[in-house]
């Protein structure tokens, strides 16, 4: 059954944390792609400096969200313009209607860690 309150947040438990790189590896505002446990994940720094991790593949078609434009805490798919909220994975505009998964991020000094289900 469709849950209208559903977001891309994943349940806690059964995760493994991976070091994905340094904060200096990321654009000042924007994303980079990493592959973790068979998933393509966009690690994205928003315009407030917060770092997020979401599925890299747009839920509308098979393109990389990391190549999209970031503004505040959203990223815009470069192909058709759907915006996704980086904190929840929710699409905020059409044509995408399904959320992307979001993953916990931990920053320790300059090291960036992302937890994914394994």
Residue 92 interacting with ligand FES (CB under 6 A)? no
Q: Is 69 in the site for ligand FES (CB under 6 A)?
A: no
Please pick, from the candidates 26, 63, 73, 113, the single residue that binds ligand FES as defined by CB under 6 A.
63
What are the C-alpha distances in Å from 76 to residues 5, 28, 71, 72, 73? Answer: 22, 16, 8, 11, 10
Does position 58 interact with ligand FES (CB under 6 A)? The reply is yes
Length of the chain counted residue by residue? 118
Check residue 100 for interaction with ligand FES (CB under 6 A): no
DSSP symbol at 27: -
Does the protein bind ligand FES through residue 15 (CB under 6 A)?
no
| 2-10, 20-28, 46-54, 75-83 -> range binding ligand FES (CB under 6 A) | 75-83
Question: What separation, in Å, do the N-terminal and C-terminal C-alpha atoms of the chain show?
Answer: 25
Kindly tell me which of 40 and 80 has the beta carbon lying closer to ligand FES: 80
Phi-psi category of 66—alpha, beta or left, where left has phi over 0 and alpha has psi -120 to 50?
alpha
Sign of CA dihedral 48, 68, 95, 8: negative
**What is the contact surface with ligand FES in residues (CB under 6 A)?**
58, 60-61, 63, 77, 79-80, 82, 95-96
């Amino acid at each position: 059954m469709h849950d209208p309150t559903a977001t891309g947040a994943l349940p806690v438990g059964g995760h493994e944390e991976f070091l994905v790189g340094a904060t200096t590896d990321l654009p000042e505002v924007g994303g980079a792609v990493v592959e973790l446990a068979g998933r393509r994940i966009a690690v994205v720094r928003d315009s407030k400096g917060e770092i997020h991790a979401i599925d890299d593949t747009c839920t509308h078609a098979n393109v990389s969200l990391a190549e999209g434009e970031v503004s505040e805490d959203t990223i815009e798919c470069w192909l058709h313009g759907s915006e996704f909220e980086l904190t929840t994975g929710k699409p905020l505009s059409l044509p995408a209607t399904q959320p992307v998964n979001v993953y916990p991020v931990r920053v320790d000094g300059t090291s960036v860690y992302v937890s994914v289900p394994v």
